[in-house]
A and B are shown apart, each in its own frame.
Chain A
Amino acid sequence: EPEVTQTPSHQVTQMGQEVILRCVPISNHLYFYWYRQILGQKVEFLVSFYNNEISEKSEIFDDQFSVERPDGSNFTLKIRSTKLEDSAMYFCASSGETLNYGYTFGSGTRLTVV
């Protein structure tokens, strides 16, 4: 069964450092997303991406965050200057249908900012 693959599974970084979280969505999917889940809290929407541009972003997704699809297969989330409160599980998801279908999620990257 097709999977969304995320790397690394766990990243530890110093506060203020830049991190890039990587995702390989399902190959024929057209819509890509990042969600995050702070420990013990809800899964929260960050950003959706379609046709090489951001289609929607949440208020969490401020200027410190950016997304890119650099080569037609990878989908990345960059956090420019990490803060302690960025520590969370980050999930990539993709969908081949409209925005309103259920998505396939990756296993997540656990980001720990120290």
Chain B
Amino acid sequence: QKEVEQDPGPLSVPEGAIVSLNCTYSNSAFQYFMWYRQYSRKGPELLMYTYSSGNKEDGRFTAQVDKSSKYISLFIRDSQPSDSATYLCAMSDHKLVFGAGTILRVKS
């Protein structure tokens, strides 16, 4: 089993839709959970980080962590064409372990 699993997509949604992105993981030592956005040939840009289980909201973005299920989610409300990018989940023990990334396309 891979340490972090993420559906690579692509996920294509109309503008204004609610987007749900997910990752599962196997290592119960992970304590910090992050979502990064990456544009083509650019570095990952931190969107949100969460410690342990729970929810965190920042504008149109909500991150959820369920440690009992080893499952994390990122929700994007009122999605915009500018949200089109690759979204990477990452989790940390002493280093970041990334998912494969989900390609999101928001159509206007």
Contact = CB atoms under 8 A, between A and B. Distances in A.
B32 A43 contact: no
B32 A56 contact: no
Contacts, number: 61
Contact of A45 (B42, B46, B95): B95
Given A101-B32, A104-B46, A48 B41 contact: no
Q: What is the size category of the interface that chain A forms with chain B?
A: 20 to 34
B41 A99 contact: no
Interface string B11-40: 000000000000000000001101010000
13 contacts: A33-B96, A35-B96, A42-B99, A44-B98, A45-B97, A48-B95, A55-B94, A56-B95, A99-B95, A100-B31, A102-B32, A103-B46, A105-B43
Interface in A75-101: 89, 91, 93, 99-101
A25 interface: no
A42 B92 contact: no
Interface of A: 4, 6, 33, 35, 41-45, 48, 55-56, 58, 89, 91, 93, 99-108, 110
- Name the prevailing secondary structure of the A interface residues: strand
Nearest to B42: A107
Nearest to A107: B43
Interface string B46-58: 1001000000000
Contacts of A58: 95
A43 B44 contact: yes
Contacts of A56: 94-95
Interface string B68-93: 00000000000000000000101011
B100 interface: yes
B100 A42 contact: yes
Nearest to B93: A100
